Structures are given as structure tokens and as C-alpha cells.
Structure 1
Amino acid sequence: NNFEFIKPYLEKSHLALANLETTFGGRERGYSGYPLFNTPDALASGLKFAGFDVISTANNHSLDTGREGLVRTLRVLEEENLPAAGTRSTPEEKGYVIKNIEGIKVGISAYTYETPRYQGRRTINGIALSPELEKLIDSFGYETLEEDLQDMKKRVERKKEEGAELIIFYLHWGEEYQREPNSYQEKIARELSTYGVDIIFGSHPHVLQPVEFVEGEGGHQTLVVYSMGNFISNQRYEHLGTRYTEDGIIVNVTVKKDFLENQVFIEEVSYIPTWVHRYDRGGRWVYEILPLVDALENKAVFNLNSENSIWRAQNSLENTLSILESRGIPVNLESPLPPESIESFK
């Protein structure tokens, strides 16, 4: 039931995306957490149950269970009818997704940052990539950024040739636990805007970073969510000494198409601040993703049953709003769930 409370929000959307920062390497490898993640296949079923439609699989943990784990992860997602962007089982596969959503063709790519090269070879989280493995994951290096940006530009052009009208990039970038984007993030965002990317969703810092519209050369506007924080994790104040890793947001982007002008545009952006609620139930830790506005209005329904959990939820909402307001863009929070949805949780 990790996703129970946010499922109604996700189900309302026509397209829901998420970053999967683990692998489905299989039971025989042994399930594990940090630093090498291997998760039960049940999580894939949970993602489908929650309402997700496309999964980003390009991040610094994509190879935690090796090439076999990368390929198996894609197979497990495929069995749940969850297409993946950012990695591929063979070099011949695209590794990106184009979906027709209510008459709008949406092209979705995902890329992860690389760690410094080793003996001239690209690396992900310190793992040196063979020439074959390089072709299975979309990545960029800060040492080779200009070259890699040109590859991203070609990807945008290819998706447009295939009919994509709205271009989304999911980028695993930035610095962990930093609440502001670094200069590389800002440079990449400007370049991708110039290439015609419409939306950038960021992950990796594990804390929220600002949201803004970036203008590329030629005046193209790109919505950039530098980091959406943590959606579900065990990165707690008790372990890291910071509360910011408990916070996240669901970003709702309303897109419309002018069929007369044959143009697609972003009409509205709204947010659902979320917080990972961890509590003991019968000697076992329970993790629930709470939509904070609804949860603080209906504390008992959302299992906010202690002064500490209520304070932490309120503190999370305040922290999230401070980040969202930091770039001067109006903060539009998603409307609360209707009473019948709240009642269904009881």
C-alpha cells in the first residue's frame, strides 16, 4: 500500500512518468539496498497499480546488478506493460518512447550522468562500460559534454521525424543533497531548450530543487524541474541528518494542442507536495507516500496519528513551498481529492 494515497492523483493523468532508481535483478542474486540495489519484482506491479505509464531506467544505479540485471529489469517492466526510456536490451532497440496521448504524440527520453572516465572508457557509478554496454544506456559525461549534447540534439531531431510533438527529457543529473542546480544542469537545460525540448524532469539530488521556465536560443520555452526530490525512499532524518530527503513533488503539466496552428503548448503547471511517512505497525516499518495538502486536512485518514508525524508533515510542506516559490513562478497546488476519494481510504 505504499502508493495507495497518491494513486487517485496518478490515475487522473493521461501520462504518468517515474524514475526507477533500482534494478530487478532477480531473487537468486539476493535483494539488497545501498550501495547496489536489487528489488523484488513486486515493485513493478506496484508501479503499475499506482498508475504509472512510462518508467525512466537511466540512472547511476542502472548497472547495480550488471548487464543481466539491466536486461531483466526491462523484461520485468515489459511484463507489466510499462515501457522504459533510457536503457535497452540490445543496441538495435530505440531506448526511447513515443506515445500518442489524446491526439498528441509525446516523445520521452532519459539520460544519466557519467562518472569520470577510466582508462578512456565511460563509467556509470565507477563501473567501466564496454563498447557493447555503452550502447545499452543513454548517458552523458561532463568531460565530453559538448559531444554528448550533440547526440541529444540528434535524438530530439529523430523523435520529431517520427512525429513527436511534445519532447520530454528525464535527466539524472546534479549533485546529491544540494537544493540548487549546478552550472552543468543550467547549461544542459539551456542547450536542450534550444534544441526544442519542452519539458525536463530531473532526478538524482534526492532533495527538491527549483522549477523554472528556461528560454533557449530562438525563444523556445522549456519547463525545467531541476529535481523532484524523493518519491519513496528510506533516506530519513534519522539516517542522514537532513529532512529534505523525505520531500518530493508530483508535477502535473497540462498540455494542449492548437489543431488549427498545429502547435502544442503548456497551458498549466501544478504540484502535489508529497512526504514519505514511515511508522511502526505491529513491529514492522510501513512506508506511505502522502499527498500533503490532503493528509494535513484529514490526518486520521492518512495515518498521521502522532504529534511528531504531524509536525514532520507540516515541516515538509513548508520546505517544499519555499523551494517552489524561489524562482518567482506562481505556485499552483493541485486541487484536493473529492470527499468520496478521501472516504475510500477509511
Structure 2
Amino acid sequence: MEYPQIEKYEYKSPSYELKKRENINKNIEKHLNIRRFVLSDDNKCFKSIKDNKDEISLIFTGDLLCLENMIEKYSKKDGGYDFSLCFKYVKPIFEKADFICGNLETVISQTASYRGEILTHEGPYYCNAPYEYLEALSLCGFDMLTTANNHTIDAGVRGMVDTINNVKDIGIIQTGTFLKKEDKFVIVDICGIKVGFTAFSTSYNKMQPNLNRQGRINLLNTYTQNRAQSVFDKMKERGAEITVCFPHWGKEYTSEITQRQYSMAENLSNIGYDFIVGSHAHVIQKFEKINDKPVLFSLGNLISHLNTFADSNFSEYTLLYNLKLRKENGEIKSKIEFIPCKIVKNYKGIPFTVLPIVESLGLTEEKVLMLKNTYEDVSKLLENNEIILNTNIEVSSNSIDDLRKNEDKDINEVLNILKDKKKTISKNRSVKINIPELKENDNFNYYKEEKEGIYEIYDDYAVLHSFLSMSSVVKLSKNVDGKPVYYVNNDIEKNDSTRLVYLGKQTNIIGKEAFKNFTNLESVRFFDEVIKIEENAFENCIKMSGLWLPESLKCIEKNVFLNCENLLSIKIPPSVTSIDKDAFVGCNNLTIYCEKGSYADKFENENRICVKYMPLITKKDNNISLNKEIVGTMNGPNDKHPATIISTCYILGTPLPYYAKCKNQPSKYIKYRAFDGTLESIVKLLGSKMPEIDKEELEKKYKAFKRKYKSKKKFKI
């Protein structure tokens, strides 16, 4: 496969080992023979090979995921994979429609590691599925796939190029990411009605800084109001009679709509997009009309492995969005119906599949039991009494005949291509240790055991004392018994199970030897609150290949990454002002990525470590007119004051940060550098924006931090 000049678009490539897979059998001709659309002679649109019709049916699906559980379950005895059973029960519906489109929320790259081979390498998440997953999407009837989502560049430009070429080679229409500077949309002539499609994303798993400006502009389709307007205008100029926008937006695993989603929906509908169909939440979100334009905020997942999160909300439910368009007297009339579905495990032996509630597909007693409450729950999630949930739609008669024949067969005959899954005794998922005796400390109160570990609870904060979990992915608590977890410590000597750790959002310090001898740890998800990493924190983390340190970090102590022999890259932000000369002993293949002239740049020159330059400050807000540099954004406390000062004392000798809610950014708290740690400097900086402050409360919070960091800095009031 040919690649564009990757260095032309990237500051750095992801830190994973390139793969050579010999057993991928691409039968391109088989897929091209079933394609329903071809590129027009003038290369300006895709055109249906069917005759024109007065009425057409389009189906949009939810997110198409393929994570490690699915990859494992659908692996074949003789090598390779077969995912066709995932879509066995929706295929008859797809074959009756004139156009099928879904959001491909994974990379499809044969040169990168699959999800499961690694869980992450640099960003917080990583997705890459086998080529056979794409084949299954083709064979079940997908005509178009969008690729504008947060996983677009999980495997870098190389992985993105693999994905685009694989999709196009198999004959499926694609938009959302691009190989060069080109139109950010496609026009599809569906049986005589020209429909324009575009797909925008709002995030890329913190991987977009790896791309330079040319890469971000040419290869991605990141939402801005100006770009959305420009794309709409060009689609109309190209002859689009109907326009559809697929925004990838919002928060995951919640049915709540963010203010930004509402704002984007308002903008898109004002621009003139006829239909707005969102994704990313992995659950169904509400349907409503905004400026008389239909907006569905999320369809949920069409397929996933159902490892639901604790805070997930009905993530097993999904929808097929059935849009019918009809030409009448020169106008196009539309009708929207939704087909409720549920993702189920082990239905007739199939590991994961999606079951639609469609009467003509046959509602057996077993199926009815598995689909119990689906109709009612989906109705509640959509929050709209005017919607139509249709369970009595036409399906392909040929497909339903084949389906019923297979239903009568022994399911083992269908599944005999899959690997035998040997039953093994599961590992003990937690380490049992005795809770330590209570400390004699004025501020210490008690120990509290959570599923991931034991915490020390103090008057104003909590500390992780022991890391107990043996799960492959572990999320540490943000708060325990209402106390923020500021410090991550650990007295467990070894962990060979955990592969990915999410720190709590209020963690300030990663303590001494916190993750020492975590021999399978691939990465840690930092938030912009961590200011210090103490000695030997990641010693012997031999599976770690790449890290992006947070923009709040100040100090990296001695032997933090001792003998992390496979650590290939680390991004060090300009906020770092102290790195011990022995921080990277044993990291023989390391390249430091930093900004030119930063402390990290000087450090590598003195210590002869390979360095490459790239911009690393990603969060800026041009709406704030104060003179001091904005160094990050975060969700702040909700307080009755128009602005709230929270004392979070830095390590000795560094400034005291604070958070201010600004008038022109009412939903965000913006973090600034103060002149020093005194209240006077904060007042001087904020000027007239300074609210009334409860000084006793402020001093109390400061003292809590002062105890924690053992700081001697004076706090003047």
C-alpha cells in the first residue's frame, strides 16, 4: 500500500511496532460485485446502479466498534477472523433499503497492532480492528462509512491511510478523513435523489497534536462553524437536493446532552442541513427538532462487546434510523422511523449480535425474552412522543428465507469456524491484604477499601495507599467518601495484569514507586492536575512504549522511568521545570518530544537524549483578554460566587494556581499563572472580576494543601 509523505503531515508517528500480517486474504472482487454505487463519469458523485425511484429508503446506524472481546471471540481456528454473525439479523433489513451508512469507529490497519494486542500506546484510547471486520460490514450491506471520530488517528497518519484505502478498495463510499486536500463531503445519487453527506469530529483522543497544521487541515474534518457553512455551500453548488451531517460529539455513556452539542445543532440547523445524526455517546440520546430540522443526538452502538461502564445508561440499546425520501411535484418529502434493536451476548451461541424488533424476522420465545423492555426503554431515551418506532417493516424475502433455515440448524454448525474457547480457571481479580493499623496523625481519620485499592482518608483529602485491582484496565477514584484523591501511592510490590490506568481527575502527585514493577502497564491516562512524579514511579514498566505527560506537570524526580526499556517516546510539556538527570536511566531507545527552548530541550542536550520538536500546549482560549498565559481548562467547582478561588499549593518554590469563572466563558473554569502564591497577586490579576471570598474557607483549603505538600510558603490574607 502506498502512503503519502507521512512526515509532511506529522510531527511524530505513534509509538507502536509496525506489523507484517501474512494471512490476510483480500477477495476484493467478491465485494466489488455486490456494490450498489459507482463513481460517476465526471467523478463528482456516486450513482446508484438501480433505476430511479419516486421513494427511497436510507438507513443510518450507530457506532461500529470492534474491541478486544469481539476480536478474540470471532477469531478462526485456521487464522484470521469472521465477524459476519454480528450482523446476521439486521442484514435482511439492510438489503431491502436503498442506502446504508454507519460510523466506523475504529482504525482498519494491517500495519498497526490490533486492539487487544495493545490497549493503548500514547493516547487514552486505542482502536484498530482486523480487515475481516470491514469485510463483514461490506457483506451485510453497508454502502458508506464515515471515519470522522475520536479514533481517526489512533494509529497515526499511516493507520488513517490504511483505513481509507481499505474502505475504498472494497468499494464502500467513505468520508470524514482524507488522503490530501479535497472536498470534505460526498454527493450520492440514490435512485434519482442527490444527497450530500459530511461528517465532523470534535476530538481525536489527544492525538491531533501529532499532526502539523497542514495535516490537521487537509486530512481531518474538525468541526468549526465556518467549515460547516463552507461544506454546506459546496454541497448545494454540486447539486445536493438533501444534506445530511454526521457530527461526532458529546460525552460518552450518558444520555445527557452537552451545551456544546446544543450549540452545534443550532448552528448546523441554521446553516440549513436537513438532517443531523450524531454519534460518540455509545448510548441512545434524545431526538428533537431544532429550527424545524430533525436532530438525533446519538444512535448508540450498532455493535459492541458490552463491557458497559458503571455509569453507562442502556448501552445495549441501539436504533436503525430509517429515513424515507419521496419526490412529489418537484419537492422532496421526508418521513423518519426508528427500528429499535438490542445488542445481545450468546444468542443461539453467537458471541455478540444485534437483534432488531421486527415482526417479520420472527419473534421466538427466546428472542422475546432477550428483547424484554427494549421498546419501552428506547422510547424513553428518545424523549419524544412524536417519533415512530416501527417494528413491522419490509425485509428482503431471500435473506429471511436463509435466516430461517439457519435458525433451524444446529448453531454449532455455524460456529465451527471459530476457535475452540478453552475453559480456564479465572485469575484471582484482586489481592487481599490486611488493612494497616490506624495511624496516629491529627489529620488522618481512617482507611477505606474500594474495588481498585485501599485509601487513606484525611480531613480534607484522600491518598491511595495500596493498589489492589488485577483488572487489565483500572480507573482510580476521583473522590473517596467526599474527599478528593490528591496523591497516588502504592505498597504492592508487583502487578503483571494491569495494562492501562486512568488516574483520578484531581490527582496532583504520583508517589514514590507508585507503579513500580507493573510489568504489563502500557500507559497511564493523566489529567491536567498532576504536578509532580516522584522517584521510581514507573520503574520496570517494560511494556510502556509512549507517554504524553500533562500540561500541568512541574517536576520529574530521580529514576522515574528506570529500565523502561521499550519506552520509545515521551512528550514533555513546557510546564516542566525540573527533571532529575537520572529520570530516564535504562530507556535506551527514547526520543523526547518537546518545544524548542523549553526546559526539556535543555535537559536532553545536557544528557544526550534524542529530541524532536513539536508544539505541546493544546488548550487555548482567545476569548479571555487577561495578560497572563492560559495554561489549561478544566471543570471547576460549582459555587454561588461568579468566580471561585481554590487553593492548591504547589510543591515548594512553585506558584499557587487558582481557578476563575469568566463572564464570557460561563461553562468553563480557566486556570492562570499567578505572580506568586499570595491572595494580593490574585486580586491584582483578576482586578474587577474578583468576587467576594469566604476567607476562612479559603484559608482552610490552603492549609489542607499545605499539610499535604509540607510547604513552608506563607499565605497572606
- TM-score (ref. length: structure 2): 0.41
Report the counterpart of residue 233 of structure 1 in structure 2. 304
Which of 173, 176, 186 is the equivalent residue of 1:97? 186
Correspondence 1:191-206 to 2 at 5 A? 191-206=267-282
Q: Does 1:74 align with 2:188?
A: no
Q: Is the 8 A contact 2:340 2:389 kept in 1?
A: no
CA offset digits 1:173-211 (Å, max 9, x no partner): 011112132221122112111111001111001100111
Aligned residue type for 2:316:
E
Q: Is the CA contact 2:92–2:396 (under 8 Å) kept in the aligned structure 1?
A: no
Report what 1:329 is aligned to.
386
- Please point out which of 155, 167, 170 is paired with 2:231: 155
Shift of 1:241: 6.1
1:31 to 2:98 alignment: no
CA contact (8 A) 1:296 1:314 kept: no
- Per-residue deviation, 1:314: 1.2
Aligned residues of 2:95 and 2:396 also touching (Cα < 8 A): no
Give the AA of the match of 2:145. Answer: I
Give the SS at the match of 1:191: helix
Equivalent residue in structure 1 for 2:151, among 61, 67, 72: 61
1:109 aligns with 2:201: no
Counterpart-to-counterpart distance in 2, 1:14 and 1:249: 18
- The Cα shift of 1:336 comes to 4.4
Q: Which position in structure 2 is the counterpart of 1:145?
A: none
CA spacing shift, 1:192–1:298, aligned 2, 3 Å:
same
Structure 1 residues 159 and 151: alpha-carbon distance in aligned structure 2, compared to 1, 3 A threshold? same
Q: Is the 8 A contact 2:359 2:391 kept in 1?
A: no
Equivalent residue letter for 1:126: K
CA contact under 8 A between 2:284 and 2:317: conserved in structure 1? yes
Separation in 1 of the partners of 2:94 and 2:303?
15
Shift of 1:339: 10
Distance in structure 1 (CA, Å) of the matches to 2:296 and 2:148 = 17
- Within 5 A, what are the aligned runs for 1:1-346? 1-26=85-110, 28-33=111-116, 35-91=125-181, 93-114=182-203, 124-127=204-207, 128=209, 129-134=211-216, 135-140=218-223, 148-215=224-291, 221-237=292-308, 240=310, 242=312, 244-258=314-328, 260=329, 262-266=330-334, 268-279=335-346, 286-294=351-359, 298-299=363-364, 304=367, 311-324=369-382, 326-336=383-393, 342-345=400-403, 346=407
CA distance in 1 between partners of 2:332 and 2:259 (Å) = 29
Deviation at 1:318, TM superposition (A): 2.3
Alignment partners' CA distance in 1, 2:273 and 2:255: 24
**Which letter maps to 2:341?**
T
Structure 1 residue 231: Cα displacement: 0.7
Q: CA deviation at 1:39?
A: 0.5
What residue is the counterpart of 2:555 in the other structure? none
2:99 alignment partner, SS class = coil
The corresponding residue for 2:78 is: none
Query: Secondary structure of 1:132's partner?
Result: helix
TM-score normalised to structure 1 length? 0.82
Cα 1:231/1:339, change in 2 over 3 Å? closer
What letter matches 1:247 in structure 2?
Answer: Y
Structure 1 unaligned regions, length at least 5: 115-123, 141-147, 216-220, 305-309
Whichever residue aligns with residue 36 of structure 1, its letter is Y
Aligned to 2:444: none
Tell me the SS of whatever aligns to 1:68.
helix
Give, as a single letter, the amino acid of the residue that structure 1 aligns with 2:379: L
- Matched to 1:196, the amino acid is G
Q: Deviations over 1:126-175 (max 9, x none)?
A: 111311221201012xxxxxxx1011111100110000110000110011
SS in 1 for 2:373: helix
Contact 1:112–1:138 under 8 Å retained in 2: yes
Structure 1, residues 98-126: CA drift from partner, whole Å, max 9, x if none?
A: 01112111100000113xxxxxxxxx211
Measured after TM superposition, the shift of residue 67 of structure 1 is 0.4
Amino acid at match of 1:246: E
Q: Between Structure 1 and Structure 2, which shows a larger proportion of strand residues?
A: 1
- Contact 1:84-1:96 within 8 A present in 2 as well: no
How far apart are 1:45 and its partner, in Å? 1.2
Show the counterpart of 1:117: none
Distance in 2 (CA, whole Å) between partners of 1:280 and 1:164 is 42
- Matched residues in 2 for 1:43 and 1:295: separation? 27
Letter in 2 for 1:270: E
More helix by share: 1
Distance change (3 Å), C-alpha of 1:137 and 1:176: same
Pick closer, same or farther for the CA change 1:314–1:72 going to 2, 3 Å. Answer: same
Higher relative contact order (Cα pairs below 8 Å, separated by 6+ residues): 1
User: Are the counterparts in 1 of residues 92 and 395 from structure 2 also a CA contact under 8 Å?
Assistant: no
Q: Report the Cα distance in structure 1 between the residues aligned to 2:256 and 2:326, rounded to whole angstroms.
A: 30
Residue 274 of structure 1: SS of its match in structure 2? strand
CA distance in 2, matches of 1:295, 1:209: 27
Measure the CA separation in 1 of the matches of 2:101 and 2:163. Answer: 16
Q: Which amino acid aligns with 2:269?
A: S
1:7–1:132 Cα change, 3 Å: same
Corresponding letter in the other structure for 1:77: V
3-state SS of paired residue (2:388): coil
Unaligned segments of structure 2, at least 5 residues: 1-84, 120-124, 408-717
User: Shift in Å at residue 329 of structure 1?
Assistant: 1.7
**One-letter identity of the residue aligned with 2:295:** V
Matched pairs, number: 309
| Aligned 8 A contact 1:56 1:84 in 2 | yes
- Structure 2 SS opposite 1:231: strand
Aligned-pair identity (%) = 28
SS at match of 1:314: coil
Residue 232 of structure 2 aligns with an amino acid whose one-letter code is V
Question: SS at 2:371's partner residue?
Answer: helix
Equivalent-residue separation in structure 1 for 2:92 and 2:360 (angstroms): 13
Larger-Rg structure: 2
**Cα offset, 1:81, TM superposition:** 0.8
- Would the aligned equivalents of 1:212 and 1:329 in 2 still touch at CA under 8 Å? no
| Cα offset, 1:94, TM superposition | 2.2
Give, as a single letter, the amino acid of the residue that structure 2 aligns with 1:138. Answer: N
Counterpart CA distance in 2 for 1:8 and 1:342 is 6
